[in-house]
Amino acid sequence: MRLRILFGVTAATALAAAGIAFSVGLPASGTPAPRPVSDNVTGIHKIKHVIVIMQENRSFDSYFGHFKGAKGIPKGVCVPDPVNGGCVKPFVDHADSNKGGPHVDANALADINHGKMNGYVGQAELHCHGKPPCPTDVMGFHTASDIPNYTTYAKDFVLADNFYESDHSWSLPAHLFMVSAWSATCSHPKNPMSCKGTDTPRNRSATHPQPFGWTDLTWLLNRNHVSWGYYLDGGAGNGGVPSIWNPLPGFRDVHKDGQAANIQPLSGFFAQAKSGNLPKVSWIVPKPADSEHPPALVSRGQAYVTRAINAVMSGPDWKSSVIFLAWDDWGGFYDNVPPPQLDALGYGMRVPAIIISPFAKRGFVDGAQSSADSFLKFIEDDFLNGARLNPLTDGRPDPRTVVRENLTTNLIQAFNFNQKPRPPVILNPCPNSTLTPKPKPGCNGNVALDFADWGDS
């Protein structure tokens, strides 16, 4: 069974085509209520460099469910345990390596369970085939002392506690949304009009190297002479970034406009950060060992992210940068907030997002509804005069009927462009923590990475 929540599309399409921004909530009556979303861009052009760092498979509550001031884990939660009996309460889990749970759209539907948010344990137990004992860790959450650097960034800058995965499924559609605000399968990729929105897109392969025929943001960036880079931790494949987290090489428009060389190893990002030559837009995606995708180590992922942030903060471009740090999907872990029903593909579960910039408000918890679509909207408002991935205006039509950027905030509320620019916050990539076992020196430890347990990533 696949999650297909679709409502308000006619109104959404009309408003989006007209360039009218709004968000969609679901009131008690069950009727969608479009609400205007502010498109304020005052001060946004002080940002000359946008860096998006996308990590893997953590729900908001699994990392920040007890963050002061955030909408976290409520009292009295106990999620049914179909295999072992009884129910499971949220619990502190200091384990550096976690298991998580399955996380395609059928699992999202079951986890959400009509807004009850109580299907997590049962879904994590599917691999036990009803035979106890069947231990799971999806109700576990990390403490601030487990993830001290992430906690410091959240306290010193901005934590978004109403931020959702753009789709209600797994990594490939989430990463497609990250660069294109859509996920689709194209029957004839050379013809963008053959593409149809789906959360089960065909991945690129040796026989189908460029299956993504619709338009991604780099098309607009290149057309408007906005520099960009897409950086791969460890390169591509063979221990580097797997294709499901690296879809951009599969977009036909990237090759058509001769921009494929902008997809490069992460070492290029570090060199550009040091020299003060970062492009206007950067995306950074991890290799499995650095991703935090269970069973990868939390400590190693945090160290990898910290090194990337330190590189920006130590370089000349920090004074005019913003770093958007987020996680692509919930990984099967518990979250208590039912996701808004936006269109046929999303939103998905709530995930963590942190906004780091010399112009970010200090210690601000951003409760505005947002998603990775908001990163695209910020980029478009900053560098493209508000142009959108809209088939009616972007010069490369495709069949999408909803302009996602028009349904979300551009995150401007997280900034104070009148404040004195904030100094860098350089952190030890491998701080003392309460993770168990104790992380190895340099936090470069590893575990056997077997994603096949869940049949997805």
Read off the pLDDT of residues 403-432 as tens digits, 9 standing for 90 and up. 999 999 999 999 999 999 999 999 999 999
Which carries the bigger pLDDT value, residue 324 or residue 401? 324
Task: Decide: 258 and 292 in contact? Cβ < 8 Å.
Answer: no
- Cα-only R_g, the chain: 21
pLDDT of residue 445: 87
Question: What pLDDT digit, counting tens, does each position of 55-107 carry?
Answer: 999 999 999 999 999 999 999 999 999 999 999 999 999 999 999 999 999 99
Given a cut of 50, whether residue 381 has pLDDT beyond it is yes
User: Considering only 15-24, 209-218, 309-318, 414-423, which range has the smallest mean pLDDT?
Assistant: 15-24
113 with 123: CB under 8 angstroms? no
Using the predicted structure, report yes or no on whether residue 33 has a pLDDT greater than 60: no
Superfamily of domain 9-61+143-450: Alkaline Phosphatase, subunit A (3.40.720.10)
The reported pLDDT for the residue numbered 239 is 84
**CA 288 to CA 443: how far, in whole Å?**
15
- Please name the residue ranges forming H helices in 33-181: 60-64, 105-112, 120-124, 148-156, 171-180
**How much of the chain exceeds pLDDT 70, in percent?**
89
SS (H, E, C) 216-283: CHHHHHHHCCCCEEEEECCCECCCCECHHHCCHHHEHHHHHCCCHHHEEEHHHHHHHHHHCCCCCEEE
- Answer whether residue 11 shows pLDDT above 60: no
pLDDT at 22 over 80: no
What pTM was estimated for this model as a whole? 0.92
Phi-psi region of 431 (alpha: psi -120 to 50; beta: other; left: phi over 0): beta
Residue 405 confidence (pLDDT)? 95
- Among 28-32, 219-223, 340-344, which stretch is predicted with the lowest mean pLDDT? 28-32
Element (H, E) at 92: strand 91-92
Question: Which pLDDT belongs to residue 238?
Answer: 83
Confidence of residue 447 (pLDDT cuts 50, 70, 90): confident
Q: Cβ neighbours of residue 401 under 8 Å, at least 6 residues apart?
A: 9, 12, 13
pLDDT-derived band of residue 347, with 50, 70 and 90 as boundaries?
Answer: very high
Question: CA-CA distance, 313 to 270, in Å (whole number)?
Answer: 11
pLDDT at 457: 60
- pLDDT higher than threshold 80 for residue 451: no
User: pLDDT: is 86 or 8 the higher one?
Assistant: 86
Which stretch of DSSP H or E encloses residue 321?
Answer: strand 321-327
Task: State what percent of residues in the chain have pLDDT above 90.
Answer: 87
Q: What is the mean pLDDT of the chain?
A: 91
Farthest-apart Cα atoms in the chain, separation: 60
Q: How far apart are CA 200 and CA 62, in angstroms?
A: 26
Structure confidence at residue 448 as a pLDDT band (50, 70, 90): low
pLDDT of residue 446: 84
Decide if 280 contacts 228 (C-beta within 8 A): yes
The pLDDT value recorded for residue 276 is: 98
Task: Tally the C-alpha atoms within 13 A of residue 66's C-alpha that lie toward its C-beta.
Answer: 13
Question: Binning pLDDT at 50, 70 and 90, where does residue 19 land?
Answer: very low
* Tokens (6 digits) for 77: 């939660």
Residue 9 has pLDDT above 80, yes or no: no
Amino acid 311: pLDDT: 98
d(CA 386, CA 245): 27
- The reported pLDDT for the residue numbered 306 is 98
Residues 6 or more apart in contact with residue 60 via CB below 8 angstroms: 70, 72, 161, 163, 335, 337, 350, 351, 352
The confidence band for 449, taking pLDDT boundaries of 50, 70 and 90, is low
Q: Is the pLDDT of residue 110 over 50?
A: yes
Q: How many CA atoms lie within 13 A of 4 on its CB side?
A: 5
Residue 213 has pLDDT above 80, yes or no: yes
pLDDT at 223 over 60: yes
- Total count of residues recorded for the chain: 457
Least confident window among 118-122, 371-375, 445-449: 445-449
